[in-house]
Each structure stands twice: as structure tokens, then as C-alpha cells.
Structure 1
């Protein structure tokens, strides 16, 4: 068996399948099958590794988190979080842009999904901003990029996927590690929004009376209680991640039905169906990427990549910059979940040689790949935002250039300052 030829078959066949627009899960499984046939390993290994990849209790948290996000999205949460964000930052210059970022921070802490954030909040935020005199491309750019906070601020099912791929890194530590980087990303975006707002003379928001502000805050705090349940339960050890996700579903249901009175029981079957659809995509990716990753390990690709990077340079800064550049490029062409599953076992041993903590690397990896959610040609959040805003991808991408710069600054800070992602886990 020629190992180099086997690696070439695996990589080239996968790229060909992707270019042919084959679904990523099927492309991963097909390229794995071709490689197994060449190296004369029984194809049944594919089935065994796919089954093994999804046979994890930790993954049970994912459907609960997705369902909780569906409930909160349909239960009147979006409008309340927008009003709450307006109370805090609405009166600033370019107030609606700041409201957009802050609302995404809050909603991301409930849904854990950038695409869900754009879908739920974008339908309200983009028309609201354009009606107030903001340029449509700027409105879409802010909505799409700010939604990426949702994959960092807990709960994030991508953190759970990384924990699985990294061999069992603490989900609680990952959740806590994403808080400051998520807020940092929001602050960087708000700084850029503020500069653009002053330059283009976007309007300030209206002042809210104290009585109205207190009422809005009370409504929003009930919604944000979901975050308290999830983070408090996991960190304190009262709940596992799976148990906290299940309790979050119950809490979200009670608040949406009996307090806000906006979620009807007849909507539940549709929300369950949406959850199953999302879950089918996520689990099929996890299963096929698990088999793909087994072949990578069998062919000793992680060791080869590690040696290749270290042969270029032994300088820690340059190696980390090269890793980030590689991930940014890959994020333009592949979705987040398969990249986490494929690249974690390859790159984690490399960064550990330089003393990087697995929690810090996980946060860095997810923030890096979050940028890919708003970059062409396959950025999911970008396409949803353009669809809602009814503008071209090219126009939105051009408007996002300052936002991309802010996101890269946040990425560099997370990469080279360990305390940003490790301070809170270290305290707790």
C-alpha cells in the first residue's frame, strides 16, 4: 500500500465530490469508502466508525439545545431581546446597529446557532434599520456578522462536537471559555459600527422612559433565564450538559406558552419537525466525519501535518498564524461541523506541542470557522441574510469587509492571549 497515494485518493475524491455539489456528509462517506477499498480495509469499517461516532451520551444535548432554540425563536423572544438591547445601547449614534449586535449576543446565548440568529432576528432588524435610514448592505452586514457570536456564547452545540472530536474536553469549560471571546467579538463589531455610523451620520435612537425600560427589562430577563439554567447547571455540577439542555427546553416551553402567550400548542409538531431536520444534518455529518477522521488517523495524517508545519518553522507565532490562515481558507468552502471533526484531531496535537490548552484551541477553532459562516461561497449565515435583505452576495460581502477585519482582530486576540478564553474556566 502506498500511503501517499491513499491520502491523495481521500483528499482529491473528497474535493471532486464537493465541487460536484454533493452533500458534505455523502462526500465524506464516499471518499472514505474509495480509500478503504484501495487500502484493502473491509468497507464494514465505515459503518462501524460511523456508528461509533454518534454513540455518545454527550451528543444527546444537541437535540435538546436545538429544540430549546426553536421554542424560544417561536415564542416571542426575538422582539423582547431587541427591545432590551435598545434600552441599553439604542440612544448611541448608529443605535440600531449596536442594538443589532447586542441582540445577537443575547439571542446567541439562547439558540447557539448563527443561522437561527439571522433567521429570527434578521426579519425584524434588517427592515427596521433600512426604514430608519441605514444602508441595506450595511444592515445585512451587521446582522450576519453579529450572528456569529451565537457559536461562541453558550450554549453552542459546536462546542459539544469539538469536545467529542478532542477526546472528551470538558463541555462546561468550553462553555465558560466562549463567554469572553463572544463578548469580545461583539465589542469589536460595535466599535466598527460606531465608526461607520459617525462617518455616514446614521441617526441616534429614541430615549426610553424609565418605566418602559423596567418593563422591557423584566420581560427580557425571563427569556435570559435559559442561559442561567444552562451555564449555572453545568458549571455547578448540578446538571450534565444533556440534563441542562432538557431543563432549558422545559423552561423555554413554560415561558413561551404561559408567560408570553405567543407559542401555541399546535406549533409544537412543526418545531419538532424543524428540530429533526436540523438534527439529521448534524448527526449525518458527525457520523461520516467520524469515519473520515478514522481513515486520516489510520494513514497517520495528523503526524504528517504536524511534521510539515514544524518543518516550515518552529516559531510558535508563525505556526499559529499558518493554522489560522488554513482554517480561514477551509471555512470558505466547508461547513463548521465537519471541519471541527476533521481538523481537531489533526491540529490539536500540533498546538499542544506549543503549550496551547485544548479549551483555548477549541475557542480559537470555533471563532475561526464562525468567520466562514459569513464568507462566500458557502457561508450559511451570509446566504440567509442576503435572502432576507434581498441583496446580492457580492454587495453584502463588500459591505462586510470592515466587519471581517474586526472579526480577525478578535481571532488574533483569542489566539495569542490565553486568558481571554481560560480566565473564567480557571476561576470555576
Structure 2
């Protein structure tokens, strides 16, 4: 069940593009329907200037993905390097953060990290209980008892993960449900890389849905609005993501093409 982190990274590129296209289509339709108008066009000179201003920030992507794919550092080490580089850009290069603001930022980051570690610790304990009580085997037997049709089983797993995502954050959900569902899908001939993308796609929808949608809460906080006001406007975007989810689920090529081309498995 262990797969390369680089393979998962590459496997997520095409599905990510599909999600982006789906969201752009919805945004375009809503924009035309509500007559939002066109954005401000930049001239060639201004576009080039803004591009060069953004180059240091864009290098962050190159550093992280390049380092992981080349094997220079692990995904965990990449996250630490990304934080240090982003801090350097914010304080020294772009000067959007003052030195005097750093203590409060570090304190806020510490609070967030503490919450994440508490969730991970709790989920690990729950995973131990699930394994000790043979619950994964019971769920596996129940699902396989319903049908041996991989299309139906994947449909049920998608529904379960979409439901789980509404009340559980991504990290504990992955830690708890991967050991449950992975043996099932492997019996049905689904590649672990493909299943990893299916699970990530499901839970990415979950982090945008209440009551535990962390991205939704952050977005509402930035926009200074309420979840109630936002929910009725984002339903078309949820529908687009769910449609793409099922396309990814039932067409493995989208997940497997790049890892196969790069011989990552």
C-alpha cells in the first residue's frame, strides 16, 4: 500500500487541472448570468513588470516540487523549507510583514500547529482502536458483501468520504479511513495511486463544507462574511467538484497517466 510521494504529486496534476477547469466554467457562467463585466486589461509592459515582481514567489513552487521530485528532500522537509522561504519573501523581499509582527504570527502558527497535532494524536488513537477491534475487516466484508462490482463499491466509498469530510478534517480522515478502504479497492484491482487521488479529491471537497470546513471558515474570515451567506452561492461550485470527482474515479487515466509516463511506479 506504500506509494511514492512523487507519484502522488504527479498523479494529482491532471485531476487538479480538471477541477480548475470545472470551477472556471461555473465562474464564467455565473459572471455572464449576473453581468459582472470584464476585468481590467494590462498592457504588455505592465504584465512583464508584474511577472518579474512575482518571480521570487513563483520560485517557491519550483523549489518545493523540484526538491521532492529530484529526491533532494522529503515532503516534510519541503514544507519547512517552504515556510522559511515564504517568511524571507514576506519580510525581506516584498516587505509585507514587519519584524515587529513576527511574534504574533509565530504564536498564531503555534496555536494552529497544536490543533493539528491534537487531531493527529486523536486520529492515531482512533486508528489503533479500529484496528484492534477489526473494524476495517468488518467494513471491508460488508462492502464486498454488497457487491464485487468495483464501480458500485467506488461509488459507495465516494459517498462515505464526502459525508466524512463534512465533519472531519483531512489529516485524521486520511489516517483513519485509508487503512479501511485501501485493502478493499486493492482487492478490486484499483491502483493505490489512483485511490489516493480519489480520497484526496473527496476530502478536498470536505474542507470546503460546513461544519468543519477549514477552507470555508478561512475564506469567510478573509471576506468578512458569514457561512450562511456564502453557502447558497457556492453550491454550483460544489456540484462542479463532485462531477469532476466521479470523472476522476471512473477514468483512472487522469490519475495514472503522468506517474506512468515518468515511471514512478
Please, what TM-score do these two structures have when normalized by structure 1?
Answer: 0.58
Matched with 1:373 is 207
Which residue matches 2:133? 299
Alignment match, 1:237: 71
* Deviation >6 Å, runs of 4+: none
Deviation sequence 1:51-87 (CA, Å, 0-9, x none)? xxxxxxxxxxxxxxxxxxxxxxxxxxxxxxxxxxxxx
2:28 equivalent in structure 1:
194
Q: Secondary structure at the match of 2:137?
A: helix
- Counterparts of 1:248 and 1:329, CA distance in 2: 32
- Taking the TM superposition and a 5 Å limit, the aligned residue runs for 1:254-333 are 254-333=88-167
| Distance change >3 Å, CA 253–CA 396, structure 1 → 2 | closer
Question: Does the residue aligned with 1:400 lie in a helix, a strand or coil?
Answer: helix
* Shift in CA distance, 330/251, structure 1 to aligned 2, threshold 3 Å: closer
Matched, 1:337 2:165: no
Instruction: In structure 2, list runs of 5 or more residues that go unmatched.
Output: none
| CA drift at 1:390 | 4.7
**Alpha-carbon distance in 2 for matches of 1:284, 1:241:** 21
DSSP 3-state at the match of 1:218: helix
Residues 247 and 400 (structure 1 numbering): CA distance in 2 closer, same or farther, change over 3 Å?
closer
Give yes or no for contact 2:148–2:188 (8 Å, CA) kept in 1.
no
Paired residues of 2:198 and 2:249 also in contact (CA < 8 A)? yes
Q: CA deviation at 1:240?
A: 2.1
> Which whole-Å CA distance do the structure 2 matches of 1:242 and 1:372 have between them?
23
Q: Distance in 2 between matches of 1:367 and 1:170?
A: 18
Alignment match, 1:126: none
Matched, 1:178 2:7: no
Q: What does 1:2-401 correspond to in 2, within 5 Å?
A: 168-401=2-235
Separation in structure 2 between the aligned mates of residue 302 and residue 352 of structure 1, nearest angstrom: 14
Q: Which secondary structure does the structure 2 equivalent of 1:314 belong to?
A: coil
Q: Which moved more, 1:251-260 or 1:184-193?
A: 251-260
Q: Number of aligned pairs?
A: 262
In structure 2, how many angstroms separate the alpha carbons of the residues matched to 1:193 and 1:223? 26
In structure 2, C-alpha distance between the alignment counterparts of 1:404 and 1:284, rounded to whole Å? 29
User: Deviation digits for residues 362-418 of structure 1, max 9, x if unmatched?
Assistant: 221121112122223332222333344454433322222211110001111221122
The yes-or-no answer on 1:409 pairing with 2:243 is yes
Q: Which residue of 2 aligns with 1:139?
A: none
**SS of the counterpart of 2:21?**
helix
SS of the aligned residue for 1:225 comes to: helix
**Normalising by structure 2, what TM-score?**
0.91
Q: Which moved more, 1:245-254 or 1:354-363?
A: 245-254
| Structure with higher RCO (Cα < 8 A, 6+ apart) | 2
Q: Which moved more, 1:366-375 or 1:236-245?
A: 236-245
